[in-house]
Amino acid sequence: MSKKQPPQPESTAPAQLNLVSSKRLLALRHTGTDDKNSDAPSITPETPALTEDRETARLRMLINQRLAEIMDQLPTGKQNNLFKIRYGVTSSEIRLLPPKRAARILKIKAQK
| pLDDT over 50 at 82, yes or no | yes
pLDDT tens figures, 14-73: 566 555 677 777 777 777 655 554 454 445 555 555 556 888 888 999 999 999 999 999
- Give the 3-state secondary structure of the chain: CCCCCCCCCCCCCCCCCCCCCCHHHHHHHHHHHHCCCCCCCCCCCCCCCCCCCHHHHHHHHHHHHHHHHHHHHCCCCCHHHHHHHHHCCCHHHHHHCCHHHHHHHCCCCCCC
Domains of the chain, residue spans: 54-105
Bigger pLDDT: 33 vs 100: 100
1-21 mean pLDDT? 61
Bigger pLDDT: 10 vs 26: 26
Model-wide pTM > 0.85? no
* pLDDT of res. 41: 47
